[in-house]
Structure 1
Amino acid sequence: MKPNIEAFFDGATWTVSYVVFDEPTGHCVIIAPVLDYDPKSGRTRTTSANKLIAFIEEKNLTTEWILETHAHADHLTAAHYLKKRLGGKTAIGKEIPIVQETFRKIFNLETDFTPDGKQFDHLFADNEVFSVGKLNVKVLSTPGHTPADLSYQVEEAIFVGDTLFMPDVGTARADFPGGSARRLFRSIRKILDYPADTRLFMCHDYPPQGRSPQWETSVGEQRANNVHVRDGIDEDRFVAMREARDRTLEMPTLLLPSIQVNVRAGIMPPSENNGISYLKIPLNVI
């Protein structure tokens, strides 16, 4: 069955969230939802997430899963808010404890924060399969950007998370803790081994000047035109390029606030004795 795919682009973080469903009045998954966050004031809003809710309610869909491709460093996840509003189970890759342990130390998180992934309802293993109504979904482990990255194959479409970008943008960085340009190359080639007409959906787009945001491409287009990893670029050449490029990149604007929330499946840090929840800024660490 061909999936129905509705994309929601957030211009503040360049993130694409998705509602993927089998049919109206059927069943859906949400992929990479955004919780709006103003770093100047520390205020959160649910404007972006409410757009997903409005669509799901309009189509009378039952939400089965709220899927993360990894613990994002460029936006806060709205997974917890959406779960409270719509139901469904939160999920991420089974390697997320590696990421949680790394950032538990960096942020010196509260003593009862346990880096075991149990903040999520389910941890997916590579090649795990499940159904969403009439749709078949397969989990693909695609580490490199982080150790815990996943892609999700829904019938003939793959949601690639932060592995690939549009062909004229290239690929994700691999210099976060636990990242690896070599693993990223192998993960990308795993995706590009699919048939040429396989539809690929990005989770971000950073369009060059003169192009509007886009998020759908294909295996064939990536193999022919991706500026970083098209056919003919071997692993060593890619790794040298990716590592050199990563050394020139600034940290994402929302790295410090987002990762503290995203390793908790969107739950805010526990309130302190004044009833207020705080995010930490580690000095001279990252």
Structure 2
Amino acid sequence: MSSQPQIQAFFDPQTWTVSYLVSDPLSRRAAVIDPVLDFDFKSGRTSTGSADKLLACVRDQGLTVDWILETHAHADHLSGARYLQSQVGGRIAIGENIRQVQATFKKLYNLERSFLPDGSQFDHLFKDGESFRIGTLEVTALLVPGHTPADMAYLIGDAVFVGDTLFMPDVGSARADFPGGDARQLYRSMRRILDLPPATRVFVCHDYPPEGRAPQWQTTVAAQRAGNIHMRDGIDEDSFVAMRRARDATLEVPTLILPSIQVNVRAGQLPPAEDNGVSYLRIPLNALPARP
């Protein structure tokens, strides 16, 4: 016998990120989706306040964490996956196309020879359509590339966790101009999500609310199809691609893209310490395209 997931959201106002604790009420097994490791750019210090709030709920509710799921290698926050694993266990997992992302960014950062772009930093790499369980809950991993080549969505009961593929209806869609991104792929990935039953609950990874609206993170397939400003019913692929490419050309580089990705392709592990015992993040100069 299966049940619907219990879902708790944790919003990080520094990065506009929403992490989730998803649990099975029958077995008390759980998964964490897209956890955040706090990072102060000015001082170069990491901290665990955001992840600790989530951990407190895990412990207070007596949950066993089986999975720590990443929707993709984020460009806007450092992953708290490795820290969470050190505290409560669980397998860190992401889509198998992370290898492509790792290969791209190993070159950009000129990472150490021991860093292999083979996905081995993660405990499991999901294939498209692969099924797994959180207690009695059946989960399906869906490949939804476009924002990056490795984006995954996780369908759990009547809920789907879409990462950066879709935003709230009044915000629209994710950018598709990162390395390996593709606006046509993004359109098809969003259509895949929007072909789910209309009552399916949609949980987004970020919200950048218009002025006057508080942050939100839950909507439905029906609401997206009716009102998403970029992707509602009636918007065809060519129109979406033209809009997305024009919009992406005006967007600034995310503040934390350079610190975050070199950590996130390591499944949240900081770079290895150098001979003085300190870990360093690399900032490649004049390597990314110029932006407005």
Both structures adopt the same fold (TM-score exceeding 0.5)? yes
SS at match of 2:202: strand
- The aligned amino acid for 1:19 is L
SS at match of 1:91: strand
| TM-score, scaled relative to structure 2 | 0.97
SS at match of 1:189: helix
Cα distance in 1 for partners of 2:60, 2:118 equals 37
Cα distance in 2 for partners of 1:131, 1:93 equals 16
Cα distance in 2 for partners of 1:79, 1:126 equals 22
Query: Which runs of no fewer than 5 residues in structure 1 stay unpaired?
Result: none
Q: Select which of 207, 211, 214 maps to 1:212.
A: 214
**How many aligned residue pairs are there?**
286
Are 2:283 and 1:281 equivalent residues in the alignment?
yes
Partner of residue 42, structure 1: 44
Partners of 1:24 and 1:60 within 8 A in 2: no
Partner of residue 156, structure 1: 158
Cα distance in 1 for partners of 2:49, 2:102 equals 28
SS at match of 2:53: helix
- The aligned amino acid for 1:36 is D
Q: Select which of 191, 195, 198 maps to 2:197.
A: 195
Partner of residue 13, structure 2: 11
Query: Which runs of no fewer than 5 residues in structure 2 stay unpaired?
Result: none
Query: Following superposition of structure 1 onto structure 2, how do residues 70-85 of structure 1 map, counting pairs within 5 Å?
Result: 70-85=72-87
Partners of 1:24 and 1:61 within 8 A in 2: no
- The aligned amino acid for 2:119 is G
Query: Following superposition of structure 1 onto structure 2, how do residues 13-92 of structure 1 map, counting pairs within 5 Å?
Result: 13-23=15-25, 26-92=28-94
SS at match of 1:73: coil
Q: Select which of 135, 139, 142 maps to 1:140.
A: 142
Report Cα offsets for 1:217-242 as digits up to 9, x if no partner. Answer: 00000000000010010000000000
1:25 positional shift:
6.7
Cα distance in 1 for partners of 2:79, 2:66 equals 17
Partner of residue 120, structure 1: 122
- The aligned amino acid for 2:276 is N
| TM-score, scaled relative to structure 1 | 0.99
Report Cα offsets for 1:208-259 as digits up to 9, x if no partner. Answer: 0000000000000000000001001000000000000000000110000000
Partners of 2:95 and 2:152 within 8 A in 1: yes
Partners of 1:163 and 1:184 within 8 A in 2: yes
Report Cα offsets for 1:1-60 as digits up to 9, x if no partner. Answer: 111000000000000000000117710000000000000000000000000110000000
SS at match of 1:140: strand
